[in-house]
Amino acid sequence: MVSKPLKIATLSFWHVHAGDYSRQAQQHPGTDLVAVWDDDAQRGQDAADQFGVEFTGDLDALLARDDLDGVAITTPTNEHRDVMLKVARAGKHIFTEKVLAPTVAEAEEIIAATDAAGVKLIVSLPRLYHGYTQAITEVIDSGQLGTLTYGRVRLSHDGAIPRDGVAGWLPQRFFEPTTAIGGALTDLGCHPVYLTQLFLGAQPDTVSATYRSIAERGLEDNAVVVVGYADQKIGVIEAGFASRNPFTIELFGTEGTLTYTDDGNVLTVNGEQVPVPDHGQDAFAQWVDHINNGTRADENIERALELTRLVVAANEAADQGTSIAYS
C-alpha cells in the first residue's frame, strides 16, 4: 500500500535556497508542495506563482491546516527560533536551512521543542552526504594518512562582487547583520565547518578567525577560521563571497596526503587518484524517510548543533580579534 504524499509548505523565500527545497518538495515522490508563506507578500506571491501553489501571509492559519504535514524553513536566520518553536507546537515536521539558530541556546531550545512535540527535524547539511565525503572518511578510517595533523577546506563564490554595474548576485539581505547574523562564514562557511568537524573532530580547544569585506556590503565576504586541537591538529576553514575558486579539501597526516577538488571531481591519495562514489541520499529525502518511519535524525541533529557552536565561536573570535577557548 502506497501512503499519500506528505503535504509541505515553504516558509519564506528570504534565503536563496528556498527555491531548491521547493523543487525538491515537488520532485520527491513522497511529498507535495502545497503552499508558500512569506512575511514579504510580494516575494511570497512571486514564489507561489513560480511553483503554482497557494500563497498565504497568515502563518498561524497555515500551521493550523490539518492537511499540512511539514515545512521547509528558509526564513531570516534570526527568525529561526521563533518560527521553529511555533511550527513544532503545531505538530508539523521541520526541514531547515543552516545554521539551525544564531545561538547554541536557541538551537538546543529548538531541538528540545521538536523532540517534545514528536516532530521530525533535519538541517540541510548537504555535503555530509556527497560521494567525496564518503570516500574521504573511508581513507581516514583506513589509516592510509597515518595520524592526521592538518586539514583545510575552502568553499567560495563571487556573489558579493559587482559586475556590469550590478552590486552582485547575492541579495543585499545576506549582508544585514540583524537578519543574517553573519556573512560568508555564517552562510557559506557552514559547509567547510561541518566537514572539518567530521574529518578532524567536533571538539577543538581553540578558535581564531579573520574576517574581511572586499565588496564592503556590510558583513564579511572573506573569512578564515583556524581551529586547534588538544592532540595538536590544526584545521583551517575558508569561506568567501568574493572569488571563484574550486571547492577544495586538503588533509595531511604523518603517513600521507589527501586532496580533493570539485574541478573534475578528483580525489587523490598519496599521489594516486581514487574513485569518487555517487552521492548518498540527500537530507530532504532522509527527512521524508524519518517522518514515514517515525525515526529521529540523531547524527544530523548533533552535527547541526555542533555546527552552530563553532560558527558562534568563530564569530566571537573575529569580533574580539583573538584566539578564544572553545567550549
Looking at residue 112, its pLDDT comes to 98
**Mean pLDDT per 10-residue run, the chain (327 residues)?**
84 98 98 98 98 98 97 98 98 98 98 98 98 98 98 98 90 95 97 98 97 97 98 98 96 98 98 98 98 98 98 97 92
Looking at residue 2, its pLDDT comes to 46
DSSP state at residue 166: B
* Residue from 28, 65, 23 nearest 47 by CA: 23
Q: In the predicted model, what is the mean pLDDT of the chain?
A: 97
Q: State how far the Cα of 263 lies from the Cα of 198, in Å rounded to an integer.
A: 22
Looking at residue 193, its pLDDT comes to 98
- Residue 185 C-alpha cell reads as 562564514
* Residue from 248, 242, 213, 211 nearest 226 by CA: 211
3-state secondary structure of 104: helix
Tell me the pairing of strands 206-212 and 324-325: antiparallel
Tell me the pairing of strands 257-261 and 266-269: antiparallel
Q: pLDDT tens for residues 25-63?
A: 999 999 999 999 999 999 999 999 999 999 999 999 999
Structural domains in the chain, CATH included, are: 6-119 (3.40.50.720), 127-282+309-325 (3.30.360.10)
Let me know if 309 is exposed, middle or buried by CB neighbors in 10 A (0-12, 13-18, 19+).
buried
What's the pTM value of the predicted model, to 2 decimals? 0.97
Q: State how far the Cα of 43 lies from the Cα of 137, in Å rounded to an integer.
A: 41
Query: What beta strand segments (E) does the chain contain?
Result: 6-11, 31-37, 54-56, 70-73, 93-96, 121-123, 148-156, 206-212, 222-228, 234-240, 248-253, 257-261, 266-269, 272-274, 324-325
Query: What beta strand segments (E) does 69-187 contain?
Result: 70-73, 93-96, 121-123, 148-156
Q: What is the dihedral of CA 57, 61, 67, 70, to 10 degrees?
A: 60
